[in-house]
Structure 1
Amino acid sequence: MADVDEGRYIGQRVRMVRRRRGMTQQMLADRAGLSRGAIAKYETGERPVDSRRVLLDLAAALGVTIGDLTGHDQEKLNPATANFHSAVPELETVLWTRGNITDSAPSKSLDELARMARHATKLRHDCDYETLGPMLVPMLTDSYRHVHDAPAGVAGERAWDVFGTIAYGVASALRARGYHALAWNVAQEVERAAERSGEAAQVAAAAFGQGQIMLSRPGALRASLTTTMGAAEKIAPEAHTRGEIETLGMLHLQASITTATLGGDPEPYFAEAAEQAARLERADADTSTARNESFGSANVTLWRMSSAIERREPDRVLELAPQVRADDLPNEGRKAQYFVEIGRAHGMRKRHEEAMYSILRAESIAPQHVRGLSPVRELVGHMMRTARRDLTTGPLGKLAERVGALEAPGSARG
């Protein structure tokens, strides 16, 4: 068994911040609504922080963000996604200036931007952030220029629609890489685009993006639910096109995971999402560029698995898994997440070998995504401290290095 002080895990940062705050384990336990024994196990790595709710409670009690505990500062230095992270400062500039930057390159047409947005969406869904990063600044800049010059009427509405789709993609990518505050600023622009374009799918996309971002802040869970369900109720009567139904269905899926995190029953939201998925085949043609092609019956099952993980129901995850094949899922990111959830379920059941091979399958599908997931790092690090030595010195040890569960030699300990 590996030394419990080895590796990098959330409990280390909890201990470091707690000590710097001058708090005892009991004080932290009281503030987070946990037992002192649980805090001790998290801090020594004996127990992984494998629940979003626990992570949020710890962050709130310590007065920090989730990123402070999961190590977003180290993720930004990851060479595998350097192209994405290096684009972020310029993205901030584009947002501050609303596209009025010193760039003399001719703007792409709206048709060209719409095609680029579809390609960027595929890259994002397939978790190829390294290729996606350099595309974001020119797309967002050009789309800003089109809305600045947009005429009244249908032509102007289309410019805002394309802008909203591009801004939504930028916000989603930033959130996925841990830039929650900046993602929120872009999500506000998606909401502005929804108002100007008048498209129901854009309204849903804006609310979905905002709801996902709010899940990263301890005090925003109920606001996340209110935002997503308020938009769902608003657009439900007019949701007839494929994009509208997709984005409406995703609002219900977002509500399900928020409800599970709050400790409630997510099933009513899953039932509504399943109903929307059944409507897709007879949907009308799209009027907006806003889509969420991840949505469908297979994705509903995957979100059920994620909800069961949040509720710490590993047997339910493993019961749901055979109901969908990875190949039924629409993109590489979703396929990888399917195996991540199976791996986490096996990890909760202390089936280390099965957990390791599931995570390895996920990593082979979407390495940039899987290697950056804090739940994967927590699981792999925990297995390194508790699994058989033949696993820790073999493929598990190599996996731990790739996902950052091991500290670099000479790094400071909390």
Structure 2
Amino acid sequence: MPNEDAHALIGQRVRECRRYRGLTLQQLADRAGLSKGFLSLVENGKRRLDNIGHITAIADALEVSPTELTGQPYPPMDPTQSQAHASLTAIRLALMDVSCGDPFEQTTPRPLPLLRDAVTEANQLYHACDYATLGSRLPRLIRELHAAIDQSIGAERAEAIRLAIHAYHPACTLLLKYLGVPDLAWIAVTHVERLVRQLDDPLYHALHAHARAHVLLSAGAHEARQKALVFARQAADELAPHTANPDALALLGELNLLAATTLSTLRNPQDAADHLAIATDIATHTGETTSLYLNFGPTNVGIHRVSTAVELRDGGKAVEIAQRERADLFAIPSINSVGRQATYFADLGRGLAQMGRRDQEALRALRTAERLAPQRIRTNPMVREVVAHMLRRARREAGGRELRGMAYRMGIAGRRSDLF
């Protein structure tokens, strides 16, 4: 299939894939369960395709990966992003190395207390969206942790296994997810599965299910999202009897948030609202936590309420919730808040864009998200689609300079014809 230009809107890729498959618009509409008129607007750049559910329905109908339509992974546009993507080769080799159980070179691990500190720092870097630094450190950390497991016995070995699981999730799996390589994230998840089998601990089995569901959700296909929902719900059911453990209670809240997110992409608002309600109730008991490096609490619930409304294309509700949650969002510790704040402003911008005639407000929110976490926001396919669509309208307007700049940094506009 011909590779699409990085400047293309998702709709242009839909047209290319449809023609490659030899389908008419009506045939694609019938297969995807969408209207012919809607798809025509999408293909002609007159309607945004910034909804995961619609993208995956079209991808399934065209028998392609959703990333074929979103264009991921995107070519990096600045040195920091380049460094993050440059680390993928080393991470891939480390994952392959520990898979075969026969390291390419002998690894001498640091003592467990130092490895514990390194795992904590890796997860802090993830939450701070410093993907370049995190990516450069993960290969050594992965190898050292597996070496520590091989060279330890008893309680020390069990601790090394737990540390390795925490290095993989969230730091490694979600880094790879945000860099647009879910296949590598899935390899990391298979390592987590092998590790949790060595622990008789329902908490870590549920954590593995959380990682697996996250990666399946990022893969995008309808079947994968259905599986993600099953894993999240099953893990929640199995974890429920163990919630006297504060970490288990917080993880149960995260699993309900993940189920709500998945249901919103499956266009099931009522069930999504039910899971959000459960998570809200759990958050009243946990408060803000850093359990299992997932950082569950009222703030995370509020952010998921915004993102769920955006995914259900209720921009007005998303903006209303976002404005109500903003004060609490900025009360959390800064080391953990960067990724959350960036997500908040990105979803606020998307919600404003959905409302129409609020592009300037949407742009301000998206620019704030970009300043907070450029390595995450510039590779977010939904944000890129919104920016690309807004760029078409603003290309010849005097007020479009800020938008053109953001589009350029995202790799959406790089040719003279795109900028003027």
So what's the TM-score if we normalise by structure 2?
0.89
What amino acid maps onto 1:237 in structure 2?
Answer: P
2:63 corresponds in structure 1 to 63
8 Å CA contact 1:191–1:202 kept in 2: the answer is: no
- Which of these residues, 253, 256, 268, is aligned with residue 252 of structure 1? 256
Tell me the CA shift for residue 401 of structure 1: 0.8
What SS does the aligned partner of 1:328 have? coil
State how far apart, in whole Å, the 1-side matches of 2:400 and 2:6 are: 14
What SS does the aligned partner of 2:129 have? coil
**Counterpart check, 1:378 vs 2:385:** yes
8 Å CA contact 2:287–2:297 kept in 1: the answer is: no
Matched ranges for 1:255-404 at <5 A: 255-264=259-268, 265=270, 266-280=272-286, 290-293=292-295, 295-325=296-326, 326-329=329-332, 330-350=336-356, 351-387=358-394, 389-390=396-397, 393-404=400-411
Select between 332-341 and 66-75 the one with higher mean Cα deviation. 66-75
**Counterpart check, 1:139 vs 2:146:** no
What amino acid maps onto 1:35 in structure 2?
Answer: S
8 Å CA contact 1:340–1:362 kept in 2: the answer is: yes
State how far apart, in whole Å, the 2-side matches of 1:321 and 1:234 are: 32
So what's the TM-score if we normalise by structure 1?
0.90
1:235 corresponds in structure 2 to 239
Tell me the CA shift for residue 104 of structure 1: 4.2
Tell me the CA shift for residue 214 of structure 1: 1.3
8 Å CA contact 2:186–2:215 kept in 1: the answer is: yes
How many corresponding residue pairs? Answer: 401
Tell me the CA shift for residue 209 of structure 1: 1.4
8 Å CA contact 1:371–1:377 kept in 2: the answer is: yes
Select between 192-201 and 38-47 the one with higher mean Cα deviation. 192-201
Tell me the CA shift for residue 79 of structure 1: 4.2
**Counterpart check, 1:32 vs 2:39:** no
What percentage of residue pairs aligned between the two structures are identical? 30
Compared CA separation, residues 333 and 34, structure 1 to 2 (3 A): same
What amino acid maps onto 2:158 in structure 1?
Answer: E
Tell me the CA shift for residue 93 of structure 1: 2.6
Select between 71-80 and 322-331 the one with higher mean Cα deviation. 71-80
**Counterpart check, 1:83 vs 2:83:** yes
- Which of these residues, 219, 226, 242, is aligned with residue 222 of structure 1? 226
Consecutive unaligned residues in structure 1, runs of 5 or more: none
2:181 corresponds in structure 1 to 179
Deviations 1:121-160 (A, max 9, x none): 1111121111111111001111111222332x32222121
8 Å CA contact 2:127–2:338 kept in 1: the answer is: yes
Aligned alpha-carbon RMSD (Å): 2.4
State how far apart, in whole Å, the 2-side matches of 1:282 and 1:181 are: 32
8 Å CA contact 1:11–1:44 kept in 2: the answer is: yes
State how far apart, in whole Å, the 2-side matches of 1:198 and 1:276 are: 25
Tell me the CA shift for residue 339 of structure 1: 0.8
What amino acid maps onto 1:378 in structure 2?
Answer: E
State how far apart, in whole Å, the 2-side matches of 1:198 and 1:94 are: 27
2:46 corresponds in structure 1 to 46
8 Å CA contact 2:10–2:70 kept in 1: the answer is: yes
Tell me the CA shift for residue 19 of structure 1: 1.9
Once superposed, which parts of structure 1, at least 4 consecutive aligned residues long, lie more than 4 Å away?
A: 76-79, 407-411
State how far apart, in whole Å, the 2-side matches of 1:76 and 1:282 are: 34
State how far apart, in whole Å, the 2-side matches of 1:391 and 1:279 are: 51
What SS does the aligned partner of 2:292 have? coil
1:72 corresponds in structure 2 to 72
